[in-house]
Amino acid sequence: MTGHHAERDASIDPELLPLIGRAELRLPHWLAQFAVTHMPVPRSSKVSVTTAFSPSGNRLRIYVPRGARSGAGMLWVHGGGLMFGDARQDEALCLSTAERLGVLIVSANYRVAPKHPFPAAHDDVHESWTWFLDHAAGLEVDPARIAIAGESAGGGLAAAVAQRIRDEGGQQPVCQWLFAPMLDDRTAADTSLDARRHRVWDNVKNRQGWTGYLSQPPGHEVCPAYAVAARCDDLTGLPPAFLSWGDVELFADECQVYADRLRGAGVPVTTDVVCGAPHGFENWAHETEIAQALIGRAQDWLGRYVGATSGAAQD
């Protein structure tokens, strides 16, 4: 390994470095979408997985613990840079969380850019939240104990939808559970970051995602409300938040700034910064010790906020 490859990889955790290649397959967006939609997924004898559809026809993947239920719920939003992705790609994390905490999870699919720019994905996630509340009684979930959560682009969508829910009133999420959220288009506008070539998700890809989603260059002075979570001026009154990211990933600075702004607005915030971790490692390297440790810490935090007991779904 020589040159810039050695320099940028030197700080990556050695357990993760051999696995990065499987997360960096260079595929056209349409082919990446096909791949994640048809990928094989793990199974759990302790969680049943069913499908439902939102009023507009978006597919919802529902994880129901077979054992003891905590009565809590979570709306999960997958990643994919706003350009691709499917609820199936987060099967391991959703199964693990449902199994360990006894939490019923609704994982939302949504329309992606550039074919469907903002507000399509945002509206789809918001509709999924409303669907969950409307069906909470039938799902045996307490609507006051539903978290909103997501990874990467899904984390950014979840954060923006939480802002909209706050502004519209009604039942609020009990907390936000965000893994390496994609929060700020102004990162993509900073072309000086391109040369750093962050592993898994770099700023060139980031610019493509934000440009397709916003239908304008990222960093534009004018940005529609709820299109970019970090552009929200007022963060007061938002649900308590857990934010995790890797210290070597592109989103590290924007995640830290958003966490600091939440704290400054009086929102309880827990951050978990993982040394040597590239973007999304808890997904594409979920079986590693470093990923399992993060997931365990995150689930402990989530369990406290939704009122779930660790091991609730165990026999």
pLDDT in tens, the chain (315 residues): 344 444 557 699 999 999 998 777 665 554 455 456 556 665 678 999 999 999 999 999 999 999 889 999 999 999 999 999 999 899 999 999 999 999 999 999 999 999 999 999 999 999 999 999 999 999 999 999 999 999 999 999 999 999 999 999 989 999 999 999 999 999 999 999 999 989 999 999 999 999 999 999 999 999 999 999 999 999 999 999 999 999 999 999 999 999 999 999 999 999 999 999 999 999 999 999 999 999 999 999 999 999 976 554 433
Rounded to whole angstroms, how far apart are CA atoms 82 and 112?
A: 6
DSSP label at residue 180: S
The C-alpha torsion from 226 through 270 and 80 to 34, rounded to 10°, is -130
Domain covering 3-23+46-306: architecture: 3-Layer(aba) Sandwich (3.40)
One-letter identity of residue 122: H
Half-sphere exposure of 242 (CA within 13 A, CB side): 24
Say if pTM beats, i.e. exceeds, 0.75.
Answer: yes
Write down the domain spans for the chain.
3-23+46-306
Concatenated DSSP letters for 210-229?
A: HHHHHTS-TT-S---TTTSG
Q: Say how far apart CA 65 and CA 313 lie, in whole Å.
A: 6
